[in-house]
Chains A and B, each alone.
Chain A
Amino acid sequence: MDNQLIKTQELTKIYHGRKVVDNISLCVPEGKIYGFLGPNGAGKSTTMKMLLGLIDPSGGKISIFGKEMNRKNRISILKQTGSLIESPSYYGNLTGYENLKISCILKKLPFSEISRVLSVVRMEGNKNKKASQYSLGMKQRLGLANALLGKPSLLLLDEPTNGLDPAGIHEMRSLIRSLPEEYGTTIMISSHLLSEMEQVSDYIGIISSGKIIFQDKLLKLQELGSESIIINTDDNLKASSVIKENMNINPEMSNNGIILPFMDNTTVSQTVKCLVNNNINIYRVTDKTKNLEEIYLSMVKENGL
């Protein structure tokens, strides 16, 4: 992996004798979007809260920006960090602008930052409206604006699209996607929605029952999904026996065509050549891949979680 901004070692959290987070070692690379995936109750929010120092780990270490985090240096580390944890936080009696002013005062930032972040989240037109009158989408955007104050190097977003309508989700997604490119921000984003993570993340960490069951590039995860090759010809029966005789592969017949086990590119090309040499017309060669949901479920099954 690239240079790692967040690193945890055997991070554990025990609640009432139950391991909610179980010895996880996260590696979040710099300048990338790290999707933290898992079903509800898997331990995502607990992990995020531990990363922010909101709760103390029962065991393990957390390093952010190369510094081991503890009670004393927590606030100084978090000065370079923006966060949005679970539901958006706001003061309903204050306007959007005033809400951000509170963060500026506490973080010792100039008020000019407010206009900048409001324009990033496209909320300039609603800055003088009371936060209690905002829609959920606007509250989430206000939360994101808050997290962006001071151009943080690291953003921790816990389910930022929760409760948003499809348009809001799309807007939030494109906003998040643009941040590493424009500002070099590293983003760790948690969600239980696999499709969403697939669309925004460069790296994926999958957590289930408090344990990390996968952690690598999204491409690696997608590679795991390639499980078979389907070939459609003008004579599938003949093609099947040709493959069996010449390639030493046992094909399966289905309504969609001949199903072959997953092969590398060279073997696929040899198979196609063999069929052509036997005067079989090939209509289509397709890669059957599992979607992320299927991969995730098979991983969970494999890990017995």
Chain B
Amino acid sequence: MEDRETYPAASERPLLTATGLTKRFGGVVALKSADLSLFPGEVHALLGANGAGKSTLVKILAGVEQPDEGELRIGDRPVTFATPRAALAAGIATVHQELSLFPNLDVAENILIGREPRRGGLWLDPRAARREAASLLENLGAADIDIEAPVGELPLAQAQLVEIAKALSAEPNVLILDEPTSALSIAEVERLVAVVERLKAQGKAIVFISHRLGEIERIADRVSILRSGEKVGEFTPGSFSRARALALMLGESWQEGKQPERATRVRDAGPAVLDVQGLSLARHFDSVSFTLQPGEVLGLAGLEGQGQKDVLFALFGLFRRGLEGRIAVAGKTIRPRRPRQAIAAGLAFIPDDRKSLGGFLGLSVSANIVIGALDLVRRGPLLSPAAESALVDTLVRRLDIRCASPTVPLGSLSGGNQQKVVVAKWLAQRAPVYVFCDPTRGVDAGARAGLFAVIRELAASGSGVLFYSTDISEFPALCDRVLVFREGRVAGELAGTAVTEPAILALSFHEAAREAA
């Protein structure tokens, strides 16, 4: 950690201090004892890979989530925010990454929601509202936005500016900007930077989150680096360095130049189990082509929301229309429009969201495992409990699923074991292609190692594996080859020993990639 005493205005008191913030979701620690001080007239950037805890920290400051431990202080006064309303009342306004707008309300109504100007203290005054909203947008250099258009009609970039104007209309002392620039053009970013500078001059404290290192370098005074829920470093004003920041974000493995041990598995190019050519879906991804060989683990990497997950969804038939391009599984062309068709073609899909997609938490482990393979345990029209328990026992042992008995509900298992049950569901019938969509999300290290062993075993037995994760460190540990996605396209491909965290990160981050070029 850098030395805070070097800050020239150290005498100045922070506007908002967070100490020891900890937040757990189930058994997973999303944020571990994080400290944060926001000084007036300062931009404090939060930097970290996916799942590093930035969002959780922001949600706590905005009153969306409540910390399990730790304390927030405004000045010297301890505060707790039970709701976003309380945080707003305390002068903390947030530009939310997923936007907190109302599609059917118009721009002015959105900007001034909760602060509508009123006549006689009672009646809405639309004219005053339009005036106020227009001047806020003008400050943002966005006077071209139609103030009476419903927000649902605006392109994402304009909606993002409306969200920013909305936060500014609260005249906050602390402004949190959670990836405010992700959809903005360069000119729009410039204007936002100017606004931020002005707010700084007014003595406001600003929290800024972005994946673009260049922006952070320009805007931020102080930078905190988070990794795996922990704050691993803080740069005081003027001390920021890209190389140090990347090193902190990646952790030790990279700093020591250590490569994870991995046998390079070069395989014969036999007939591909999966061949994808020119796959496009409007607004999701564009011209994605790749092949998957039997025995290969192919990673789809990139920052969150770059289209890689949608490609997996599309392969599994989750998009009902609009899919263009060619998909062939084991040489047979398919046009999957529903999961059944993808399953019939030989795809198995392990989703990230065990709670709502993968498993049936209220049903028994056994029922979860056999749901896709009921024909295997049927004797005549009836299901055979003996056959079911034989099949389930085999799989439970093979995957080392820890449960008191297969009859306990899935919800009573730990996250890692739940995920293994979801995998087991597809093992009853061997599929040529296994699709793992962020399977380790919310899973502890031990279970992760177990899951990786399963994935390798599947590949070794001749299946092809597609693997997507929000945790970049998992790709080098597991994948033979990695496609890095950016903005819906394959930005680059890495194979064999070239699959390293810095390489993936470089291809993922806009600015870094541009520099490399």
Pair from one complex: no
Where the two chains meet, the residues of B that have a C-beta atom closer than 8 Å to any C-beta of A are: none
Residues of A within 8 A of B (CB): none
